[in-house]
């Protein structure tokens, strides 16, 4: 059988060998529970603390604003359900987009069954939102606007900063699913006006089974969330459960590498994309289909 060429990095990326090297000690020798107070646990806790610094540095936030989860999907659930539960007395209206990932759409549909009203905004033919529609969709009882940064199917990049400004002018929290953007595009959550952002390690050469949620802990627009999982008080009480130390270390290392190599990596991938397109156009039937 001929060698298969993998071109599905939007679904998952190969683990960077440097990430694996960073993770290995915490899969073999340094395997203690990061919540334990003995020296072995303190060592694991220190590794988690260091990883949190690297993740926070990648997106321009404080270390206290990073909550580790098992995936971007869990982070999305924590963000949307957490806001819904915490701010339901203010309102039960949430605005999102019809082209969001199922993790957002299915969570919103779940909340519809709990009495919440969801506005699913349409996009234009180019996949982008009409900002006037966004503005008109936000009501006095809207508690959250959720718009993904980069679409997982067509790669369109939404004007997040402008949408966040509209959202905040209406007194509402702004969330973005950054899963396809973090580690690939330069992101500063403060400059963009993001209050909540979900992302996952395996989308930028980190391990599977580890994600994170950025939660703004500073004014203006400080967010409070009710937890989904109780027991143990881990992650500031927002995500109880024994920490996945190897995964967290891997996410931290992947974040560090992305911070250092994002610009050159984007240039390299862009050149590969352009080369692929040029070569495909040399095949007559593909030329006709593309044109």
**Confidence at residue 286, expressed as pLDDT on a 0 to 100 scale:** 59
Identify whether 277 is part of a domain: no
Identify whether 279 is part of a domain: no
Identify whether 199 is part of a domain: yes
Identify whether 271 is part of a domain: no
Q: What is the count of structural domains for the chain?
A: 1
- The whole domain housing 232 covers 24-251
Q: How many CA atoms lie within 13 A of 201 on its CB side?
A: 33
CATH value at residue 142: 3.40.640.10
Identify whether 67 is part of a domain: yes
Q: Which of the residues in the chain have pLDDT under 70?
A: 1-2, 285-291
Compute φ and ψ for 78, nearest 5 degrees: -65, -40
Identify whether 265 is part of a domain: no
Identify whether 160 is part of a domain: yes
At 194-203, the pLDDT tens digits run 999 999 999 9
**Confidence at residue 2, expressed as pLDDT on a 0 to 100 scale:** 67
pTM of the complete model: 0.94
At 82-100, the pLDDT tens digits run 999 999 999 999 999 999 9
Identify whether 85 is part of a domain: yes
**Confidence at residue 7, expressed as pLDDT on a 0 to 100 scale:** 86
């Amino acid at each position: 059988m001929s060698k298969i060429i993998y071109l599905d990095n939007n679904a998952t990326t190969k683990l960077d060998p440097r990430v694996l090297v960073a993770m290995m000690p915490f899969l073999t020798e340094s395997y203690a529970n990061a919540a334990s107070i003995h020296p072995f646990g303190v060592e694991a806790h220190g590794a988690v603390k260091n990883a949190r610094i690297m993740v926070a540095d990648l997106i321009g936030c404080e270390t206290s604003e990073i909550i580790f989860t098992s995936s971007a999907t869990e982070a999305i659930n924590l963000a949307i359900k957490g806001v819904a539960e915490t701010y339901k007395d203010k309102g039960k209206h949430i605005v999102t987009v019809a082209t969001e990932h199922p993790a957002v759409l299915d969570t919103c549909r779940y909340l519809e069954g709990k009495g919440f009203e969801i506005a699913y905004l349409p996009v234009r033919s180019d996949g982008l939102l009409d900002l006037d529609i966004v503005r008109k969709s936000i009501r006095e009882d809207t508690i959250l606007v959720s718009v993904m940064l980069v679409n997982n199917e067509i790669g369109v990049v939404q004007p997040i900063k402008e949408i966040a400004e509209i959202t905040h002018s209406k007194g509402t929290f702004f969330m973005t699913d950054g899963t396809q953007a973090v580690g690939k595009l330069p992101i500063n959550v403060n400059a963009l006006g993001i209050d909540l952002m979900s992302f996952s390690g395996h989308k930028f050469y980190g391990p599977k089974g580890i994600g994170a949620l950025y939660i703004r802990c500073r004014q203006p627009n400080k967010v409070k969330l009710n937890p989904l999982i109780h027991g143990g008080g881990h992650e500031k009480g927002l995500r109880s459960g024994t920490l996945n130390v190897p995964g967290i270390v891997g996410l931290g290392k992947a974040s560090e590498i992305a911070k250092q190599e994002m610009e050159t990596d984007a240039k390299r991938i862009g050149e590969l994309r352009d080369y692929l397109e040029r070569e495909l156009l040399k095949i007559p039937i593909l030329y006709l289909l593309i044109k």
